[in-house]
Homo-oligomer: A and B are copies of this chain.
Amino acid sequence: MTTPKRPSVLATQEADFPRWYQDVLEKAELADNGPVRGTMVIRPYAYGLWERMQAEVDARIKAAGAENVYLPLFIPQSYLQREAEHVEGFSPELAVVTHAGGKELTEPVVVRPTSETLFGELMAKWVQSHRDLPMLLNQWANVVRWEMRPRVFLRTTEFLWQEGHTAHATRQDATEYTLRIHLDVYRDFLENVLAIPVLVGAKTKRERFAGAINTMTCEAMMGDGKALQMATSHELGQNFAKAFNITYTDSAGQVQHCWTTSWGSSTRMVGGLIMAHGDDAGLRVPPRVAAVQAVVIAVKDDERTLSTARDLVASLNAAGVRARIDARTEQGFGRRATEWELKGVPLRIEVGPRDLDAGQVTVVRRDTSEKSPLPLGEVVATIPSLLESMHEDMLAAARQRLADRTIEATSVDEALEGAMTGFVRIPWKALGEGGERTLNEQAVTVRCLQTPSGQVPGVEDSADDLIAIVARSY
């Protein structure tokens, strides 16, 4: 049995992280560029990851009481103009259909950059009485924002996402629901499925969503120390309710404006998964999101090896493990092992004649590269709990890196220097809006504001007590 070599097909992370990312996309057959600038083709292996992400996020959204709907791709241009900040935020990114059905349209239509305005329009119709509230809706869809500097998964002209939109009777109810989504859907999913620890906090005024009174974010650290925004949740106050006339009649018969929220996560998370866990040998997929959790590799094509491998897959499947066989014995073992390593499958179970003579198989963990013999009779009992501890280990390792690469700063200059290699914690009062602008000039941003204990700030928290998390970002 040969020890798989590190594939020379990838640039190393240290030498060139962006190049490494492009190499992984291509060599692990994750995605291609589409023919129209900035668009992407999501290939089966990456789409399988997205499908599992979607299922996990969707289950949490449904558990939070929201229902799925589907709204049209096309929005009349006039809709976007109703909320002033919103139109300003999106105008430069819009794709506009001017011709359809062989004719020029009398009113051009916009390809949705978000369905915010359509939800506004529809909620105005659907919400009548306080009995209709809260109205909790979500949509899975594609959206289009014309990108000048596209990058597959991270910043694409078209991407897939979910956008939740809710209407509430009171500000408090809207705030509480936004926080619930942010923590119980997004943070829970990111940490407990993707094994990516996130910093939760509020965006500064400068970084807020166009039209929001408060934007909450989940910020993760990538392998190169940069930040990636994984999901955001917005309190829209009554801005959209007033622009779209979303009102309800309260129990006293008075007409009131609703308080609305919106929240989203996208295929950008696939990019985050690659960059948060990947290493020089390729992807490392956390077990809970892996389409294949364990690949059973038949090393040779003798009958005993093949039938043992097949039996193992069947027993593992029966035990709830997503296992599959690799019986491509016409190809070298080393090449196959390297391929599974590149694709980041959590466990390789190698079945070969020599091991079988000793009544065992060899189990290789992708996260640690640990390689150990396991008696054949213990495989089915061991693997499920091994996968569970791998999840915990990957999350703990990512937390450790986050801690190791975060420094404390007290001045703008220190913050700028620290942001070159990782995250910086700096009191907001030492930074302020002036300091934030200085950072921005160097392509460094305030990722979020947190309470000193790392919580999302509430209305009762004074800005003077908050900590700014500062970093370079994707």
Residues of A at the B interface (CB closer than 8 Å) are 32, 34-36, 39-44, 47-48, 50-51, 67-76, 79, 91-102, 108-109, 111, 118, 121-122, 125, 137, 141-142, 144, 146, 148, 157-158, 160
Contact = CB atoms under 8 A, between A and B. Distances in A.
A98 B101 contact: no
Contact of A100 (B34, B68, B146): B146
Contact of A39 (B74, B92, B122, B146): B74
Contact of A98 (B47, B96, B148): B96
Contacts of A108: 99
Contacts of A35: 72, 75-76, 79, 118, 121
Contacts of A99: 95-96, 98, 108
B100 A96 contact: yes
B118 A71 contact: no
Contacts of A158: 72-74
Contact of A101 (B39, B72, B121, B148): B148
A95 B100 contact: yes
Most buried by B among A32, A41, A118: A41
6 contacts: A36-B109, A39-B73, A41-B71, A74-B144, A97-B98, A141-B142
A64 to B, nearest CB: 14
Q: Give the top 7 A-B pairs by smallest Cβ distance, nearest first.
A: A101-B146, A39-B72, A34-B72, A44-B67, A42-B70, A95-B100, A36-B74
Contacts of A118: 34-35, 41
B146 A74 contact: no
Given A44-B137, A76-B35, A101-B146, A160 B94 contact: no
A68 B70 CA distance: 20
Contact of A97 (B41, B67, B97): B97
B75 A47 contact: no
Contacts of A146: 100-102
Contact of A76 (B32, B36, B72, B94): B36
B48 A68 contact: yes
Nearest to A66: B44
